[in-house]
Amino acid sequence: MFTDLDGSLLDHDNYDYSPAIPTLQRLKRHNIPLILCTSKTRTEIIAMQQRLEIVQPAAVENGAAVIIPTGYFARRPSGAFIESGNWIKRFGKKREEILSKLKQLGHDFPGCFRSFTAMGVAGIAEDSGLSLEGAQFANSREYTEPLLWLDTDEKKQRFINQALRQGLRVHQGGRYLHLSGAGDKGEAMRWLVEEYSKANSAWSQVSIALGDAQNDVPMLDAANYSIVIRSASNPLPRLNRRHNTVISAEIGPVGWNFCLSHLLDELGVPA
């Protein structure tokens, strides 16, 4: 099963996941893989997996890449390379490629934005309110570049159009504009389901996705069962499907726990 973190498994404000512990333990008891699919970086995800005490694949930076612990499947998936004890399948562009395209865009939009790279760790900490360590984690990006827009919305739209023509994808986050190459959470999920199926895993039969925001739609649309987690901070994402879909009554990890445990009951997973 595939889940978003912020606002889904984790509380939007304090990152608490304790309401979800009963169902997290049930997944562990029955060896159901818990696959984190988030906009966070590899460094941030590995820290989160250690907190959850799981050794599983995960999709990083909004699906720009999938990381799999080496040896998780009997064979290394085709197209995956090895780095720091993980197999990595990359869908997007490397950050350096994005930065070189951004440099060209900078000539046409001088002074209109500041990228994370231009801000540096201290600048990111100052702008975002993160600690220096948090800023360092957030800046440890491999496949995406966030930037702070400093000019008008009209100019921003022209910038976005030009970035799209250069083959970049642009996603407006809460504070920053995120530039990436290819890949989304849906693509990462489909690829992993295929790998489970090649490995003859029972888990290739049923996919479940949980998420709370628009960037979760590609995976919520593609899963066999989808659980939309209600959010206090953003409107419900608009899915292109209705079958096998529920919307939680409660927000964050409380809704996550309730809806997933109910679905596991329906699917006949023992308590």
Residues in contact with Mg ion by the rule CB under 5 A: 4, 6-7, 212-213
Name which of 82 and 232 has its Cβ closer to Mg ion. Answer: 232
Whole-number minimum distance, CB 64 to Mg ion, in Å?
Answer: 16
Whole-number minimum distance, CB 199 to Mg ion, in Å?
Answer: 29
Which spans in 9-52 are helix H? 21-29, 42-52
Task: Answer yes or no: 151 catalytic.
Answer: no
- Report how far residue 183's alpha carbon sits from residue 25's, in angstroms, rounded to the nearest whole number: 31
Name which of 142 and 212 has its Cβ closer to Mg ion. Answer: 212
Which spans in 53-211 are helix H? 95-108, 116-128, 132-138, 153-165, 185-198
Whole-number minimum distance, CB 112 to Mg ion, in Å?
Answer: 28
Instruction: Kindly name the residue from 4, 11, 184, 216 that is annotated as catalytic.
Output: 4
Name which of 7 and 183 has its Cβ closer to Mg ion. Answer: 7
Sheet with 169-172, edge to edge strand ranges: 113-115, 144-149, 177-180, 169-172
Measured in residues, the chain has a length of 271
Residue 125 C-beta-side C-alpha neighbours within 13 Å? 10
Whole-number minimum distance, CB 50 to Mg ion, in Å?
Answer: 20
Which residue in the block uniquely carries the two structure tokens 């009951």? 265
Which residue in the block uniquely carries the two structure tokens 């069962």? 225
Whole-number minimum distance, CB 6 to Mg ion, in Å?
Answer: 4
Letter for the amino acid at 210? L
- Report how far residue 72's alpha carbon sits from residue 31's, in angstroms, rounded to the nearest whole number: 13
Q: 14: burial class by Cβ within 10 Å (0-12, 13-18, 19+)?
A: exposed
Name which of 195 and 212 has its Cβ closer to Mg ion. Answer: 212
Please name which of 94, 90, 98 lies closest in space to residue 65, comparing C-alpha atoms.
Answer: 90
Name which of 37 and 67 has its Cβ closer to Mg ion. Answer: 37
Residues assigned a catalytic role: 4
